[in-house]
Amino acid sequence: MLSQAENETVTRTGPGTPMGEVFRRYWMPALLSWEIEQPDCPPVEVKLLGEKLVAFRDTSGRVGIVGDLCPHRCTSLWLGRNEDNGLRCVYHGWKFDVDGNCVEMPNEPEEFDFHGRIHLKSYPTVEMGGVIWAYMGPKEKQPPPPMFEWTQVPQTHLQINKTWEECNWLQAVEGGIDSVHSSFLHRSLTGDRNTGGLAGLRARATSARLDVDVTDYGYLYASRRPLGDEGEYVRSYHFVMPFYQIRAAQGETMGHQTKRIHGHMWVPIDDENCMAFNWFYSYGDEPLTEKEWTSRYPTFEGGEETPDFRKIANRGNKWNIDREKQRTYSFTGIEGVNTQDHAVQESMGAIVDRTQEHLGQTDRAVVTTRKLLLDAVKTVQAGGNPPGADDSYYHIRAIERVLPPGADWREVLKPEIYPELTPA
């Protein structure tokens, strides 16, 4: 468990907080590219790490992420006119480019114009993998671009969407990196995979041993589930600092072995809400189905949401839990794996009190995450770079296999997990 002070440290990410300073050393997923798809389209409200921002794509196609309030009279620039390579405030016409420079001050007589002295808060952006990313930290500490393998595959090989989650970012992360909960929370009671749960190896083997190997970017971990004489089902994952999970999915799609990998990014909106970016991709020759790669919203069961990315099944309606289905159909009676995840995470409250926990062996990934985060705070406060603020994660993959009795998963799987190390 964490102390109350430690819990405050790891959960608070607003401006000036210790963890907020750590987060500002990474590229932050801000919004999906299609939200501002066309030049001069309407601006979009964005909230990251407790800061209210506005994103827009200018006439030349450049993306700006700038402060929400016009520095003249503090009117929201979300109301602004996106025109002629700038965002113009509707109150008095002040206009700003993607770098936050005031380029026009039309309400002032020429002799009193001082637009050259006015600068709006703005953050550098990059666009890749269908996501617009912002860097909110010191200019001299800006890391390499976030070139995960999924951001580099063809459009036909990737689906990316996002869902608003009503809880602190760390509750969501700790739910995602918990590799054993799927044997219970996501279990089908019908013997087959259904819209309320999973079947298969994780339903057969409900206990696991967890191995965690700390790396330069975070850690590699694997759950090992015994299958008797068949051997051992090993599912590997990665945690990349500060909020990325990459998980194996080679055996769970379309009923046959695939070259697919899934993952999430749990980005703090503020301390009591986060945006879960959900993605999966094919790293082989086989593309996704057209429905999958063209979809702008979740295609998984129970993933229905409103245009502002809030879930239809949410905390307000108790995630539409069906107690009869809970008795006969699935372990939870809640439709959809991701909704089940959100239900247990949101049910803890906005920020859970971790001093009340009692952790076990299968919580090793959770414990390791907390240690990495607390250590990163000390590193940044001392002037250093936190783990993962480099290119050490660019080509990592998460792999799952059933291995023969006695096989060493590290020896067998690591050439696929770290393919750049595989001999040509």
- Cα(363)–Cα(343) distance, rounded to whole angstroms? 19
- CA atoms within a 13 Å half-sphere pointing along the CA-CB vector of 47: 14
Cis geometry, peptide bond prior to residue 242 (ω within 30 degrees of 0): yes
Say if strands 260-270 and 131-135 run parallel, antiparallel, or are unpaired: unpaired
Closest by CA to 371, choosing from 352, 385, 387, 349, is 387
Strand intervals (E) in 76-124: 81-82, 87-88, 95-96, 102-104, 122-123
Three-state DSSP class for residue 317? helix
Q: Which residues contact 108 (CB under 8 A, 6 or more apart)?
A: 114
pLDDT of 395 higher than 70 = yes
- Cα(366)–Cα(381) distance, rounded to whole angstroms? 23
Model confidence, pTM: 0.93
Question: Each residue of 221-272: pLDDT tens digit?
Answer: 999 988 888 899 999 999 999 999 999 999 754 345 789 999 999 999 999 9
Question: Each residue of 115-130: pLDDT tens digit?
Answer: 999 999 999 999 999 9
Question: Each residue of 160-212: pLDDT tens digit?
Answer: 999 999 999 999 999 999 988 888 899 888 887 788 776 666 666 666 789 99
Query: Which part of the chain is CATH 3.90.380.10?
Result: 149-421
Query: Which part of the chain is CATH 2.102.10.10?
Result: 27-141
Size (the chain), residues:
424
Residue 195 · residue 302 · CB < 8 Å:
yes
Question: Each residue of 138-150: pLDDT tens digit?
Answer: 999 999 999 999 9
Question: Each residue of 107-117: pLDDT tens digit?
Answer: 999 999 999 99
Q: What pLDDT is recorded for position 253?
A: 42
Three-state DSSP class for residue 265? strand
The fold for domain 149-421 equals: Naphthalene 1,2-dioxygenase Alpha Subunit; Chain A, domain 1 (3.90.380)
Residue 246 · residue 264 · CB < 8 Å:
no
Q: What pLDDT is recorded for position 300?
A: 72
pLDDT of 99 higher than 80 = yes
Q: What pLDDT is recorded for position 255?
A: 45
The fold for domain 27-141 equals: Rieske Iron-sulfur Protein (2.102.10)
Q: What pLDDT is recorded for position 251?
A: 75
Average pLDDT of span 38-60: 98
